[in-house]
Structures are given as structure tokens and as C-alpha cells.
Amino acid sequence: MKNYFNDVTTYLRSSLIKISWASLCLMLSISGPFGTYSDMGLLERTAFWSLITSVAFVVACLIKAIVWRIFPNQVPVVINLITTLSFTAVFVPITFVISNWWADGAFNPNFPFALASVLVLSISLCLAMIRQLLGWDHLAKRDEEPTDFVPRLLDRTPQFAGQKIRRLTVDDHSVEIFFCSGEHTRLRMRFSDAVREMDGVDGFYIHRSHWVAKEAVQSMSRGNGRYFVTLNDGTVLPVGRTYKPNLDYLAAE
């Protein structure tokens, strides 16, 4: 539970999240959708939509943290789809409860529950597509990662205490761990478990056999119809097409 709380607070501290929240609050307060423009004054409208938006962001960040921990080795498209569907299922009922409480039990929506669900789902899917295309998922947490964070995987290698991990590579039933110092070691464990124990470090799959720390990525190139990444130690690794969206932030920076 503590890990989920840390994930959520990390997401919410992001400057991108704060700007998005403020912009959405302002837009909804001024436009007054779903009848709130005629039923509420500006101040009440602002308070109402600020509450709804705040709940939406907290719920979204919590679901995102849970989904990423349950499915650490899934591709971004699947992660975004699961997150979006889960968010819709949780957020729409909460919105109706808050609206009824706000109206002191006199909430009489001029749109049915099903339509509200379709609207939220449609908007969420569009936002997920935009985030993925622009690489915002990585930008949102890039400047929020603690620089002194120690991943759980290092607990298995006390001889390398204090060192930073550059990348992980699967080799049969073992995982090779490459450190920024140039040293490397091997652990007999599942690759997905090793990646899960890198929680808290900004990194991602680039291939089903390779995980890299984001700060180690120097550039991405293409040759003979395939994509490759070059790390800051000169290592060149293949990029699976399925995992290429994880590197699209390079084009956004």
C-alpha cells in the first residue's frame, strides 16, 4: 500500500499534471458543461469542477499505479486501455455520488448514466492516445524521480550497493544486470520479477529481452527496417516494434 501511495504522490507532484489540472479546472468552470452553467454561479461552478477534477486526477493516478504494478511487462497500448476502462468504471459512479451530495440529494442529471460512461470513456481514450503519441507518460514523471532512490533489485546484490543500474537483459533463465560503473552480474530469476523490483526507477522495456534506465538512453536510430537505441556507454540494443512507443518521448524532447 505504501508503494501505491508513493506512486500516486509522485505522479501528482509532476508539473505536467499540475498544469493539466489547473487548465481543466479553468476550462470547465468557464464553460459550465452538463447544465452547471445555468444551475450554478461562477464561484460555485469553480468549486464544483475543482472537486470533480481533483477526484478524477487522484483516481486516474491510483489506477495507473496499480495497473503498472500488476502488469509490469505489458506494452503501453494495453496498459493505457486497461487504465482507461478501469478509470471509467470507478470515476463515473463517484461523479454521480458527488453531484448528488453537492445538490443536497436533489441531483437530477439531464443525461443518463450510460451516456456519461460513454463520454468519460471516449475522452479518456483520446487523452491516452495523445499521451502515448507525445510521450507525456515519461515526461510527467521524468523530473519527479528521486535521484537517490535504491531499487529493491539491489538488495539481491549487496556487493554492488550504492551503484546505479543501467540496464537489464534476459539470458535463458537468468538476468544480467549492467551497472553504470561498467560492472555487471547475473541473477537466476524471472525477467519480469527483476523489472518489477526496479519499481521507482524511471525506465522501461525496449524489447522483450531488454529493460533500460531512461537516463542511460542517448539516442534512437533506424537501420534495415529495425529500430535501435544507443546507451550512454556506447551499447547498441534492438528495439521491439511493440515497445517503440516507450521511446517516443525522444521525439517530444
Q: Please check whether residues 40 and 128 belong to one and the same domain.
A: yes
pTM score, two decimals?
A: 0.54
**C-alpha pair distances (Å), 189 with each of 66, 142, 164, 213:** 23, 28, 19, 19
Q: How many domains are there within the chain? A: 2
Q: Per-residue pLDDT averaged across 67-95, rounded?
A: 80
How do residues 46-61 score in pLDDT, each as one tens digit? 999 999 999 998 888 8
Mean pLDDT of the chain: 81
Can you give the residue range of the structural domain that contains 70? Answer: 2-142
Q: Please check whether residues 105 and 21 belong to one and the same domain.
A: yes
Give the per-residue pLDDT at 82. Answer: 87
For residue 151, is pLDDT > 70? yes
Q: Please check whether residues 72 and 157 belong to one and the same domain.
A: no
How do residues 199-252 score in pLDDT, each as one tens digit? 888 889 999 999 999 889 988 888 888 899 999 999 999 999 888 887 876 644
Give the per-residue pLDDT at 79. Answer: 77
User: Does any domain span residue 147?
Assistant: no
Q: Please check whether residues 237 and 188 belong to one and the same domain.
A: yes
How do residues 17-50 score in pLDDT, each as one tens digit? 788 889 989 998 999 887 788 888 899 999 999 9
Q: Please check whether residues 121 and 15 belong to one and the same domain.
A: yes
**Distance (Å, rounded) from C-alpha 70 to C-alpha 72?**
6
Q: Are strands 203-207 and 210-213 parallel, antiparallel or unpaired?
A: antiparallel
**Distance (Å, rounded) from C-alpha 129 to C-alpha 72?**
19
Query: 112 exposed, middle or buried (CB, 10 Å; 0-12, 13-18, 19+)?
Result: exposed
